[in-house]
Structure 1
Amino acid sequence: MNLQLTRKQRANKSKALASVGALLTFFLAITWLSGCDQAQQNSAPKFDPSELAPGGQATIKNFNYRSFIQPGAHLKGLDRVDFWAGFTFFEMPWVAAPASTTVRDGLGPLFNTHSCLSCHSKGSRGKFFAEGVGEQSGLLIRLGPKHSTAPEVDPVYGGQVQVRTIDAVKKYLTDDLKPEAKIDLAFEYIEGRYADGEAYQLRKPIIKLTELGYGELADGIGLSPRFGPNIFGMGLLDSISDQDLLNQEEINDTDGDGISAKYNRVPDVVTGKQAIGRYGFKAKHPTLVQQVTAAFTHDIGIVNPLFPNEVCTQAQTACQQASKLTNPKGEHEIAQRLVQDVMMFSQHIGVPPARDLQSEQAQQGRELFYQLNCQSCHTPSYTTAANAKVESLANIKIWPYTDLALHDMGPGLADNVLEYDADGQEWRTPPLWGIGLQQRVQGQQLYLHDGRARTISEAILWHGGEAAASKQAFSQLNQSERQALLKFLQAI
């Protein structure tokens, strides 16, 4: 076989290669230009010095790292006194009635915890308990429908599992007052690697109810674990205008970017109308006062002006008997004036200042945050409404990094429980301000709705659904880039 090419063959081959090269050059140029356009589209905006004070005037002036519970710098004089007065009702444990103190009695009859502080240690998240069967406060179990034809709540257990009962009146009851259940927790561990080969491990909680006190759950009722969130900056989130939120709503993803923000429409117990949900992992409550007073009733058993009924269902006769013994007149167990004190505290917990945010590494991470399109759900900033409910929280530039909207986070994080307009894969975008301080302040860091993630990296790697592309882009970063992004998140 003749392996030598003729001069004509060589010439034809050169022309063919030149044509291929021209096409390849053209393709690469188009790809490069497209990449430039995309990078420019997702490039970080110019750094704003106000980012150093995420809560604006309501940022904590001298953050001491011992606790997140500190008033914002905007609070002055007697308002600061009222703030700490409200804190006492957050911190001190409630006791069963009747008791020597009528201000702090009314616990139960069924309840999860004695105080707000046990679910929000130092103003952040609760303490996660080890694997096994237990009664604990930081993690609670909501009950809800798995599908549209299931009951809204369990007819026997209601909408939330209560793991504790009061003891004082049990001897006077004709029926047995029992805890509703205990929580059985185990973890499944998932190994993985980043694109550069570095290994990571995720843990997935496997949660069951055991020792059910009143029979099995109804068909179609599912479990939704919730791990108490951070509570600082809540008054500022309450002060964002509805319109600023609704401007972000895009249920049908009209721009085709794969992100479809949706706001949960929920009942406002004060007005009796539908409103935009802002609080809770599925945005169940529209206002801060509703979130706080609902927690008093459903977590501690303290009935109040907004939630005046005990959590006892019709099937729980012992709970009803205990309620009549401890609160025979059916009075509010926390008076309206004391609710106002608690709200003074809840509205004005300041936001920690940013830390080392202007460092070269943090600024590189800031650029990556936008390039990975994280800001599509974690909206960086707002200016609170001019007519905000609390005058001192009006017209403040804030940096919470949340749109407070529901997003499909994929099957990996799904609880498969419906909550108003939220489906089984949808969760509200949590604020990111102060996210990097949990380890230093609390000695632990636990993220996501059920506390499964032990690091910020793990939390990102659990993202799916609408956030899958951003998660995938994060996993493709090299170690230096990942550390830069984490540095930014730890700094804001």
Structure 2
Amino acid sequence: MRRRRYWLGLPLSALVLTAVWADTRRRPEILELGALVAEPEPGEELVGGGATVVEAGRNAFGRAPPNMPREKWPEFHLGKRVFDRDWSEPTHVAPQVGPLFSAVSCMTCHVKDGRGRPPASAAEPPVSLVFQLGAPGGTGPHPEYGKQLDAHRLGAPRGEGRAEVTYEELDGEFATGEPFTLLRPRYRFTDLSGGPLGADVPFSPRVAPANFGLGLLEALPEETLLALADPDDRDGDGISGRPNQVEDVTEGRKRLGRFGWKANQPSLTQQVAHALVIDMGLTSEVYPRAPEPGAAEATAKPEVEPYDLERLVLYNRLLAAPRRRNWTDPTVLRGKGVFRALGCAACHVDRAMETADVPGFPELSRQSIRPYSDLLLHDMGEGLADGRPDGEATGREWRTPPLWGIGLVETVNGHTRFLHDGRARNLEEAVLWHGGEAAPARERYTRLRREDREALLAFLGSL
């Protein structure tokens, strides 16, 4: 594999055209942060308020909140059974997946309610990595393959096609002289059942995100999130987060999107129902028709019974966020100061936000939470762009992913792959891939002393 010389993940030839450094042969000056005052804040370890769990082991992402009333335990466990159900097994109570599908259960991609990963090698087929598609040269679904390329077809040896993932290595260097390497993914589609995708077809590789804390995110008042938006960057800080206004299919109107990699779903019910139909080919009262071209018209009886959809939504709504660890450690506190000094908190908002009253869910109501996200769209630069619009999100925009629980991914899921396509092999690589609005923060990170970089990573690991 040919290696190219990069600085901050960009070709040196590109940086000559910028004003970042007048002479790319010289290293930039080391950023001296000096003394940073970052004291522990009361309750900051309880990122989900009273709905925070202390669990820090393999099941940290799959627990019910400790403040949940006892009478809800049976409903929660029934929802867990629906989440774990293999919908490919023909039974008298469960319909089968498909005919086209990417997974046979929610747990297939969201193992232990956590994060998916890309294949470990080109020979390994993607499992919790899917490819969402667009129409050639425009928006809307692909005319042949629909919204997503499905790897499986019920009763057939293969689905719509296969994807092979390889990586190009990009070299860079910190201001301190230490090298780093990033991986840029390359995708090749084979065995396509309906012919080539087309040269100008936008596709978006996406790994399954973690499921916990979703009910708390849904409970944040819309005005709280809209107050964080600054689409025209009126304050001049270079950060212009904006909401994705998307269709609520049950209400027939546009609402603030807050779920999904591009904030393309406005409610947890719609997010769950959309995953059922697009990932498993299972219709429901929310999506009564399969999304692939040529699919049968909606039937009077959905494949997923309303009570099973309700149980599944309740389970996802109540999965609790795990408590932070080592939040009073001096290195972690230094890292918190670095996090703020670099400007990371402009998008990954680190201050507490209060949820609204949620009828029927006192455990989620009036909780002071810290998801470390504004749930808004931000331009993340060409390096992370997928070229596929989603709602009002452009091909360069992504929702700020919540950071709570990010330090437990390795414990729960056995890997440290991050970003929407899992290209980052660890948290540092995830930081180094930030571009667009986050490029200044990334540039400052590369100029830090090693101990300050390690402090920031220790802080992220405590979340």
Q: With the length of structure 2 as denominator, give the TM-score of the two structures.
A: 0.88
1:82 aligned partner: 75
Q: Choose the corresponding residue for 2:428, options 457, 467, 472.
A: 457
Per the alignment, residue 50 of structure 1 pairs with: 43
2:264 aligns with one of 271, 284, 290: 284
Deviation of the 1:419 alpha carbon: 1.1
Question: Contact conserved, 1:378 with 1:429, CA < 8 A, in 2?
Answer: yes
Distance 2:144 2:275 in 1: 20
Deviation at 1:292, TM superposition (A): 0.7
Matching residue's letter, 1:77: R
Which letter maps to 2:382?
Answer: P
Contact kept, 8 Å, 2:215 with 2:364, in 1: the verdict is: yes
Note the alpha carbon deviations across 1:71-92, whole angstroms, 9 max, x for none. 1112131212211110111112
- Aligned residue type for 1:367: G
Q: Tell me, yes or no, if structure 1 residue 267 matches structure 2 residue 255.
A: no
User: Which SS does the other structure have where 2:363 is aligned?
Assistant: helix
Judged with a 3 Å threshold, the aligned counterparts in structure 2 of structure 1 residues 461 and 454 are, in CA distance, closer, same or farther, namely same
User: Which residue, 199, 217, 225 being the options, matches 2:205?
Assistant: 225
- Secondary structure at 2:206's aligned position in 1? strand
Aligned CA distance change for structure 1 residues 183 and 386 (closer, same or farther; 3 Å): same
Instruction: Report if the CA contact (8 A) 1:184-1:207 is conserved.
Output: yes
Q: Aligned partners of 1:231, 1:277: CA distance in 2, in Å?
A: 16
- 1:45–1:396 distance in 2 versus 1, CA, 3 Å: farther
1:155 lines up with 2:135 in the alignment: no
User: Aligned-residue CA RMSD in angstroms?
Assistant: 2.3
After superposition, what is the alpha-carbon deviation per residue over 1:298-317, rounded to whole angstroms, capped at 9, x for unaligned? Answer: 10111111011123312xxx
Query: In structure 1, what residue type is equivalent to 2:77?
Result: W
- Computing the radius of gyration from Cα coordinates, the structure with the larger value is 1
1:110: Cα distance to partner?
Answer: 0.2
- Cα distance change on mapping 1:239 and 1:39 into 2, 3 Å: farther
What are the residue-to-residue correspondences of 1:96-135 with 2, within 5 Å? 99=90, 101-132=91-122, 135=125
CA 1:151–1:368 in structure 2 vs 1: closer, same or farther (change >3 Å)? closer
Q: Report the TM-score when normalising by structure 1.
A: 0.83
> Structure 2 counterpart of 1:311, which letter?
P
Matches of 2:61 and 2:37, distance apart in 1 = 29
Letter in 1 for 2:153: T
SS at match of 1:73: coil
Specify the alignment match of 1:215 in structure 2.
Answer: 195
Number of equivalences = 432
* 61, 65, 78: which one aligns with 1:72: 65
Secondary structure of the 2:319 match is coil
Match of 1:296 among 253, 262, 276: 276
Query: Are residues 335 and 206 of structure 1, via their aligned partners in 2, closer, same or farther at CA, if it must alter by over 3 Å?
Result: same
**One-letter identity of the residue aligned with 1:257:** D
2:84 to 84, 91, 102: 91
Counterpart in the other structure of 1:374: 344
CA distance, structure 2, for counterparts of residue 389 and residue 200 of structure 1: 50
Q: Does the C-alpha gap of structure 1 residues 486 and 146 become closer, same or farther in structure 2, counting only changes over 3 Å?
A: farther
CA distance, structure 1, for counterparts of residue 116 and residue 335 of structure 2 = 29
Structure 1 unmatched ranges of 5 or more: 1-34, 171-176, 315-319
Moved more, 154-163 or 390-399: 390-399
* Alpha-carbon distance between aligned partners in 2 of 1:132 and 1:487, rounded to the nearest angstrom: 32
SS of corresponding position for 1:221:
coil
Superposed displacement of residue 208, structure 1:
2.5
- What is aligned with 2:385? 414
Name the aligned partner's letter for residue 378 of structure 2. Answer: H
